[in-house]
Amino acid sequence: CDMVGDTDEEFAENERRFPLADLPEMPGRGGAFWTEPLMGVCVVGVLCTILVAVTSGVSIGPEATQPQQIALALVWAEAAIAVVSTAYLLWGNAGVVHRSEQTCYPIPPEVEECLRRSKSLDNLKNIPGPQDSPLQGSYCVRCLLWRPRNEGKVHHCNVCQRCVTGFDHHCGVFGRCIVRANMPCFMANIGMMFAGMVTAMVAVMTSSAINPEKFEIESNGG
């Protein structure tokens, strides 16, 4: 079996021998894939609610100062960035290697034999590809596809049950793999948390409720 298989004729021949539709389904997601994101959603939601509420409480009203109004706009923007970043982390499928003609063919002979005989692939290890092929770095015997070479660390996650490129770590808070493609969103979430805290603190510190000038006016009026 030709392990390069990068021409239309070779793809067609491989698909005639074993069509994509006949491949077993992708591995089922691990239970934590569905439960872990609940923690991330709760953390982001609660923090956004608290920080926006605190900032709004001291920044809305006729006595609100310009810095407080700026802080209110900032904290809403920071909350929006956090929400959008979380949504992309959860549903962006960043770095996931999908099945296609380019990634599934050619099927290694030992894998094709097991599939034709309906034998388990559990005893097979991932199969290295040709050294000169950028698309066929290694063949995952769980996803049944070729993982690319030179795309950073390629890893099959036991929770997500998918192969991803540019792997950094699996996040137990958001329940997703953090890879090169979604790392900016992951870092943005962390950054917005600290930025929101600073923004809320500045709003409180400049609040008229703790403004010495207001206290002096109230004292004189009394």
Residue 157 has pLDDT above 90, yes or no: yes
Band of the pLDDT at 218, cuts 50, 70, 90? Answer: very low
Sign of CA dihedral 29, 30, 35, 38: negative
What's the pLDDT tens digit per position in 33-91? 999 999 999 999 999 999 999 999 988 877 778 888 899 999 999 999 999 999 999 99
What's the pLDDT tens digit per position in 163-211? 999 999 999 999 999 999 999 999 999 999 999 999 999 988 887 555 5
CB 197 within 8 A of CB 51: yes
Query: Cis peptide leading into 106, omega within 30 of 0?
Result: yes
What's the pLDDT tens digit per position in 134-145? 889 999 999 999
Instruction: Output the pLDDT for position 172.
Output: 95
Q: How far is the C-alpha of 187 from the C-alpha of 51, rounded, in Å?
A: 19
pTM of the model: 0.81
Q: Give, for 55, the enclosing helix (H) or strand (E).
A: helix 31-59
Residue 126 per-residue DSSP state: P
Rg (CA), the chain: 27
